[in-house]
Structure 1
Amino acid sequence: MSIAPPNESVVEDRLAAAPPPGRTVVELMRDRATGPDADRPLFTALGAAGEPMACLTAAGLDARARAVADALLRTGRPGDRVIVPPMPGLDFHVAFFGCLYAGMVAVPVADAAGPVAAAIARDCRAGAVLVPDAAGPGPVPIVPRIAVRETVRASRDRRGAPVAAGPLAPALLHYAARPGRRARGGVAVGHGALVAGQAAVRDRCDIEPGTTVVSWLPLWHGTGLATALVLPLVSGAAAVTLEPAVFVRDPRVWLRAIEAEEDVFAAAPDIAYELCVRRVPVADRMRIDLSTWRVAAVGAGGGRPVRARTLHRFADAFRPGFFREEVFAAGYGTGGGALGVTLARPLYPTVAGHYDRAALARGRAVPVPRAGRGGVELVGRGTPLPGVGVRVLDPVSRRAVPERVVGEIWVDAQGGAVSRTGDLGFFDGGELFVTG
């Protein structure tokens, strides 16, 4: 990679000169709600046994989002931050789009009433918190609470037009905090970047209106939100979601939800595929038909691993159910996973390489014949998505390093923003490998 290292003035120039991205999440939602598919099921939520428990068409979601937006605008103004905790069924979907319809910034949190949520609410100076009903907990008592269900029921005749927000306006503020962990500074993700990122995933994976996104990923996390809420809008697809706890308790619910659809995109981290191997009995594996699973995305940001061993184990375990290893597509993202950076092309063999472990510790990726005896197998995370520049730089000098030299991963995302990820990796043959 022979790109000049970024510096502060270069970053500022790029931000000023970059053309604004095209569409906003609200515009896509409105197009879907007023188009020919307005009355087609858009989002479906499954219960603990995989049974449908809630379903919303685009038109129905549009109406509910308008009601929530009206309530938010009676307590605040566009640009305010709004806490959005986990909610059952499709309440989170309504709350999230309600925030965006009001021109406000959604701040998803992992726990409605824990200390992390309270710290996030104070840090971002939240103007409101959305809860499913009036009895639901909230993170900060002094922040106005708006009950989604009551608001929708009581506001059928008060639904104004969505507030216009530009593509560069922030859509969500992501905090890298989980239950029991300390919140760190939030990362703003703009409308245009969110849309462009998922449009790139759509094009890389050929996701179409006949595709169904099946996801158990938590919606408070960037990957789950982008995959289950935004990707369907940019592709015309539908989405089926289930609670993360349902997947952890019984991964078969997720796999059977995939089996029930005709053309499926489903994403999960490495550990989820390993959990399927451990938790699904051998006798059940051949009873679940996974031939409809066309794209099995795997991986995330934060230096989290994608292990070749996991992919091989899953493919071997579920081959009796017609799962094909070539549908795996390893990827890498930033912004809590809301922004895709690299992604392998599905239906091609997974790129993996064996490298000398000791050399990697010294910052060099030296190929070896195979893993073992000092070698380690790494899975390639694909090539950069359209509109995204990826560089590997020396973290001290900020100069580009050659291929097979480990450095810090820097990303030029949609909209011209340049960010350093803090993750280490290297390029080999144009493929990005993440080492930690």
Structure 2
Amino acid sequence: MTPHVKEAGAFFSYVTKGLGSRIGMGSAFVALVTYTAIQAGIYGYMGWAVMDLVRYYGGPEIHWSIFALISLAIVGLLGYRHIELSSKVLGVALILEILVMMIVNVAVIIDGGPEGRSLEPFDPQVFLTGGLGVAVLFAFTGFVGFESTAIYRDEARKPNKTIPRATFLAVGIIGTFYTISVWVLVVASGPSQVQAVAQETLFGDKNMLLDTTALFAGAFTRDAMQILLITSLFACVLSFHNILARYQLALAKIGVMPPALARVHPKHHSPATSSFVQSITAIVLIGVFVLVGLDPLVEVFGYMAGVAAIGMVILMFLTTAAVIRYFSKRPDKRKSIVTSIVIPCIALVALGVAAWLVVSNFTMVTGGSAAVSAGLALLPAVGFVIGTLVKKQRLKTEEHEATRAVSVVDATEHE
């Protein structure tokens, strides 16, 4: 659909084009919930990662929320003043992160681990049993943001070529790199011991990834990875903050959110009000997490990643349905019925199965009651309903204003 969608709005633009403005607005609110959740989850992960770094070097025991709030303050300042980190700086950091992980991958593969280079993790009897739904859930969180290739269509010289190419590369590289790296972690611990090692990270004082790095690639590589983990988390949370601020700005401009969110700073030309509101929202969420006493990694990141994964499945499902409907009504725009109809239909079924797996296993992510799990899982759906109702009300208002305008014109002409 890229050649036929000129707006740089990613999922929202595609859904609106294929399924109409009401469902499109619902998808926009799903995106707001999704990005808010993953941003809050990353603040928890960030707080835990910095706390772990300070503890590792013998520093004082400081609550994770302090580090999360410091990160939030820096992100908020950058967002408010429209100070964007250089893409070159972020690009170098990304290359270093991949390089360090590749060093670990190669080192483990050469060594073979305690039980050898086992292919047991790829055995269907292993990965199709147990927590498949949880695995699918976290797999989806690994792809959050891949649709940003379409958001930058305005900056692309040849968007009809570069956007599909960049999207296929992003999905392919993420899927391949994560699969190999996670398999390497299993080999490093041994298939029979990997679950126990992982649980020591979640519920003990170990760090599976960093301990594996130190064991197979040395202390220097471990230290580099720990620093790069924090820089990557910061880059992620800054990116989601900016996306959310601009989402709110765009929705305010079309009248579905408070007009104040559409204000641009007169000096910095940034979505300052929207950025500020987004920062306050994050502070409130972190405060709630602290009051409830949630663990920053297992619960804050786990819960919010779960909410984001469900939101991402909904957005992908709606976008795929939009593609099918768009080309069904416009056969003249199809390049191929296979790519325009057949593959999207297969994807729709697969996404439906994925959604069922995620939702039906959500209690395994939260570890809580069915009520808490259901409440969290329903948040993206609630966002969708609110979005459609907001759009419905907006359409009614516009219709009423149009009717009044016609009445005024008629009365004037009559006079």
TM-score after normalising by structure 2 = 0.23
Q: Which protein has the bigger helix share?
A: 2
* Structure number with larger C-alpha Rg: 2
Higher RCO (C-alpha 8 Å, min separation 6):
2
